[in-house]
Amino acid sequence: MDLKVTTLEGKDAGKVSLSDAIFGLEPREDIIARVIRWQLAKKQQGTHQSLTRGEVARTGSKMYKQKGTGRARHHSARAPQFRGGAKAHGPVSRSHAHDLPKQVRALGLRHALSAKIKADDVIIIDDLVAAEAKTKALAGAFASLGLTNALFIGGAELDGNFKLAARNIPNVDVLPIQGINVYDILRRGKLVLSKAAVEALEERFK
């Protein structure tokens, strides 16, 4: 399929041909959901932890004598049923990451790109380059293109001025082609690819 290429100033810069094997699939929500779940699970810190009976700072002596009080036969005040005691079966520090086949991860990326194309939310820019690192100037260019919530994917090396100017604009993310991922593609409204990014994607999925 062919897609129009524009400049950051909104001028026409020709057309680019996109591979149907990458951008022309019928999106499958189940595959996309699996990849997003894998990404978010890997990202989760997993540092939540409650105190066990061995970690609670309370006396270990018997609360009261075994017999003659008329009460239950308790021993330690660290038991979960007492106020200030430990938590029974509480969370422990662990990794939430799980395995996902490499082929499924690659397929998920292609389906996410195809979903954006199908929703008409992909814009091709000839080059993501800014003359100077001025946020106001770049924000004006984005506004003229109707980009208020977007993910920008450049080539292997990002232009320093563009990266600096874009980082203070809300709801705008800029990534090199190596950092492209399903979660970031879908969490932003528009996907803006440079011509270098399109070439790198087609080279990656040959």
- Asked whether 119 and 65 are in contact (CB, 8 A), the reply is no
User: Which residue spans of the chain are classified as CATH 3.40.1370.10?
Assistant: 2-45+97-205
- Measured between alpha carbons, how far apart are the two ends of the chain, in Å? 17
d(CA 120, CA 123): 8
Quote the pTM value: 0.83
Q: Which of 35, 198, 28 is nearest to 122 (CA)?
A: 198
pLDDT in tens, the chain (206 residues): 888 999 988 888 899 999 999 999 999 999 999 999 999 999 999 999 999 999 999 988 999 999 999 999 999 999 999 999 999 999 999 999 999 999 999 999 999 999 999 999 999 999 999 989 999 999 999 999 999 999 999 999 999 999 999 999 999 999 999 999 999 999 999 999 999 999 999 999 98
Which helix (H) or strand (E) covers residue 17, if one does?
strand 12-17
Q: Is 9 helix (H, G, I), strand (E, B) or coil?
A: coil
Torsion of CA 182, 187, 189, 190, to 10 degrees: -30
Choose the CATH number for 2-45+97-205 among 3.40.50.1980, 3.40.190.10, 3.30.1390.20, 3.40.1370.10.
3.40.1370.10
